[in-house]
Structure 1
């Protein structure tokens, strides 16, 4: 449990106070049978009301004190466990926020949600249990055994045998439960992922009418979760009754032997009564201990899954001072293959350079590595070999925030968040005033915003579900323009726009100060033609680099693209 060391250290004082209260509460519980024995032996058996009252008042006071300790530890347990759970969720989220792309690829989003909710809740429940009952059970069990032994050594032998048998059951339960609970958590991951994928792609499901297929897919994962749940609980279901039976048999034997000892004056009625109560306490404690170990097994599985998140690589080093970079870009013999992928390089020995203020278009067929260039510039991944220089600096030597402060990207698939239009655009610059906001929207040809009910204060649904694809792209472009970074990457950012709107957006972008380097990733030759330089990619390899005129003279692939898109459309 080293993973949780800092949390226990933070809440050390209330935790220790709760443990102290639990220990004293257990002592109060243990005094009960002994006091009951005194009431029977010195009061009821001898017919002394004074002794009954004397020991009865003490028993009542001990019970009241125990109740006070119980209330205190319950309050502390609830506060500490919930605060620790909140801290753990925060740290997990913070870790996920700084995930490297490699780490994000390793753990599916559905699994991350389960780990932040279900697994964290399991940890919270375990901490609450430690402070409330987990420590009480062994104290009560050991105390009952000791006090029962002091009452009658001969009868106590029965307890030792019962505890030995129950210990075997507990060990068997732990051995069988752990792998089952781990599989249960993985099955829960699959259910969450299935539901998440459906909710994200609900429109496609409706469009293709694949309701039955999605229902079958969920039924499969749901049934798997049910089976794993039954498998994990079956061990507890079988072991718990066996433990109860063992302690019950022990109690019957204790009463039988106690009656025999009573006949020969080796045991008193009070001792036998107290011994029976201690046996009941031992039974309760053993069942609690079994639950403790089962909870521990589940917590161990959850801890392993949470540790996997913390062990994942984060975004690259934050060391180094922040720099304001110019927009010059240089790739030197860059080769890169996606980690965990096929191993085939997405980029092979790529070299090119762009000066500050120039515009670069990257064009090529699907899968040629165009978007990969953008991910490498933003350093979502590190290159396998070669160097990438921005503003004359190797990106590996730059502070990651400094690097990304100097780059704005408008992705191929617009990513909008639930909130107002203004909040989404201000992702580019949180300090932007109203005039800057409106100017960015105008440059992105997002005039439709003023026709919305609340204009810039209109609320967008998650992922912008209440606006069209073209409107999403224009808001996303406005966000990128608002950032005013030294490099602006447009990753097929106008694919949902008509030719007229796209031309106006391009004109507005080109009219910006030429200190900004514009990189346009596109499959449209018409979009690429107006750029200062055009990089032609094919299967991860540079097959052409230069102006439109130069490529029309010496790049066969670019000529094919031009003939297919431009000349054929003219003929049509």
Structure 2
């Protein structure tokens, strides 16, 4: 409950009012059978119609008051539970947005979606149930037992026996249900992940014609979810009828033994009638308590899953320092291995320096550690050994906001969002003018935007599905340029562009007036040649650093890339 105490504290007053209403409503319900016994004993048996009216009016008044309390607590329960659910979803989203990269890798996105939706809804239902049912059911059950005992102690022994058996059944139900409901939520994670992966890769599925494989894997996940659902509900479907059966036996026993006591003048008709009603109330309360405990078991599983999110590591916090971050970038003996990976360093003992305003190209084979340099520079991860300095300041002494505000990244696979082209371009600079937006698009060679009927107000589908790969990359480049950061990081950002368009984009970058450091991660030697300096990577090691002319003479790896890409294209 520690996880939710802060939410209850926010709505303490309506929660306490709801508790009062539930308690008073339960009291009104408990008075009903007792008033009924007075109607029978004092009115019907004595033939006094005035007594029937007297006790009947009071019974009607108590019922009306109870209804008012019920309506009030229902409204308060709905308000508190829904507001708590909204606050919890907001806090979860805020936490996920602050995840460290290690935390992002730890929990799949499909599972995060399930936890934010299904698990949160389960908790909302439980909170609503607590205020509406959980508090009322024990009061009604205990009150019915006490009042029934006051009416006839002999008959109350039957109630004690029934309650003892029901308590045992509820305990068994909770122990059997918890693990099943936990596995049910995990099965739901799996099916959400399958659907998400299919939707993200729908074009690839169509291109490779793997409909049968995807359908088969989804069907397996779907069947697993169904089996887990049946297994988790099986306990409830067995226990609930048993509860009704034992309470039914108790009611029959009350009527039978009550009739015997009535013939011996040891009980009157009103008491037996009230006792029967109390047994019905006890049955109803026990069933409600069973449902609440089953709901508690599911909520416990959901709570553990949500707590896992809150316990995940967050991104590195702000340092509070106000420093100029537009100076030289220095990697000094940097070694780094991905957490939870093979343990083999992605970069090893890497050292290089990029002067302020210079352009650096990082080139090398796939898996050589090029993108890792970008992730370290953005402080998605911290170095294992060595240091990264910007303007002489260690990145570890800076918060991520300070670092990332000064770095604009253009990834190889551009991420675009639903909305207009303009909304996507100004993502990093909300205050940009129309002229600045137009200039950024022009420098990114995104002239196709102005050729569209609605221009910058043209709509993008989810992920930019209505644009080609090259168009999406150019929109992404324009977004990076518009940010006007101290460092522009292009992570193979021109891979979908033809050679001529790429050359124009790179030329535009050089001709800009901004005193900006540009880092280009690429696999094309032709792209690397345009940079002031080139860093050559192989197996996580920097095997060459210098100008294109210097590396042609001194670096065999770079020379091999050059001969493979440039010389072979000339021969062709």
* TM-score, normalised relative to structure 1: 0.99
Give the deviation of 1:514 after TM superposition: 5.7
| Post-superposition CA distance 1:363-397 (Å, at most 9, x none) | 00000000000000000011111100012111110
Name the residue aligned to 1:138. 138
Distance 1:451 1:112 in 2: 40
2:394 is matched with 394
In 2, the alpha carbon distance for the partners of 1:372 and 1:463 equals 24
**Cα distance change, pair 332–201 in 1 and its aligned pair in 2 (3 A):** same
SS at match of 1:426: helix
Per-residue Cα deviation, 1:519-547 (whole angstroms, up to 9, x for no partner): 00000000001211110000111111111
Question: Where does residue 511 of structure 1 map in the other structure?
Answer: 511
What's the offset of the Cα at 1:327?
Answer: 3.8
Unaligned runs of 5+ in 2: none
1:289-317 Cα deviation digits (max 9, x unpaired)? 00010000000000000000000011111
Q: CA deviation at 1:135?
A: 0.5
* Within-5 A mapping of 1:230-269: 230-269=230-269
SS in structure 2 opposite 1:350? Answer: strand
Alignment check: 8 A CA contact 1:126 1:299 kept? yes
Instruction: Say whether residues 1:367 and 2:355 are aligned partners.
Output: no
Regions of 4+ moved over 6 Å: none
In structure 1, the residue matched to 2:215 is: 215
- Cα deviation 1:50-87 (Å, max 9, x = unaligned): 00000000000000000000000011111111111000
* Deviation sequence 1:478-498 (CA, Å, 0-9, x none): 000001111101110111111
The residue that corresponds to 1:176 in the other structure is 176
SS of 2:330 mapped into structure 1: strand
Query: Who is 1:354 aligned against?
Result: 354
Matched-pair contact (CA < 8 Å) for 1:327–1:487: no
Q: How many pairs are equivalent?
A: 572
Task: Give structure 1 stretches of 5+ with no counterpart.
Answer: none
Cα separation, 2, equivalents of 1:311 and 1:64: 48
Q: How does 1:287-326 map to 2 (within 5 A)?
A: 287-326=287-326
2:214 and 2:400 map into 1 onto residues whose CA distance is 41
Which shows bigger deviation, 257-266 or 294-303? 257-266
Counterpart contact for 1:364–1:536, Cα < 8 Å: yes
Q: 1:116 and 1:141 mapped to 2: Cα distance?
A: 35
Q: Distance in 2 between matches of 1:315 and 1:276?
A: 62
1:1-53 CA deviation, whole Å, 9 max, x = no partner? Answer: 10001100000000010110000000000000000000000000111100000
Q: Write the mapping of 1:262-277 to structure 2, written as runs, cut at 5 A.
A: 262-277=262-277
In the alignment, structure 1 residue 497 sits paired with structure 2 residue 508: no
For the aligned residue pairs, the C-alpha RMSD in angstroms reads: 0.7
Q: Which position in structure 1 is the counterpart of 2:340?
A: 340
Rounded to whole Å, the distance in 1 between the matches of 2:314 and 2:400 is 11
Distance apart, 1:134 and its partner CA:
1.1
Contact 1:358 1:514 in 2 (8 A): no
User: 2:94 maps to which residue?
Assistant: 94
2:461 matched to which residue of 1? 461
* Counterparts of 1:498 and 1:241, CA distance in 2: 70
TM-score (norm 2): 0.99
Name the counterpart of 2:284.
Answer: 284
Which whole-Å CA distance do the structure 2 matches of 1:392 and 1:322 have between them?
Answer: 14
CA contact (8 A) 1:317 1:399 kept: yes
Q: How far 1:452 moved relative to its partner?
A: 1.4
The one-character-per-residue Cα deviations of 1:256-295 (angstroms, maximum 9, x if unpaired) are 1111111111101000000000001000100100001000
State the match for 2:59 in structure 1: 59
Q: Which residue of 1 aligns with 2:112?
A: 112
Matches within 5 A, 1:425-504: 425-504=425-504
Tell me if structure 2 keeps the 8 A contact 1:416–1:472.
yes
CA distance in 2, matches of 1:267, 1:460: 79
1:183 to partner: Cα distance = 0.3
Q: CA deviation at 1:321?
A: 2.6
- Paired with 1:59 and 1:364, the residues of 2 have a C-alpha distance of 87
Q: 1:229-249: per-residue Cα shift (whole Å, max 9, x none)?
A: 000000000001111110111
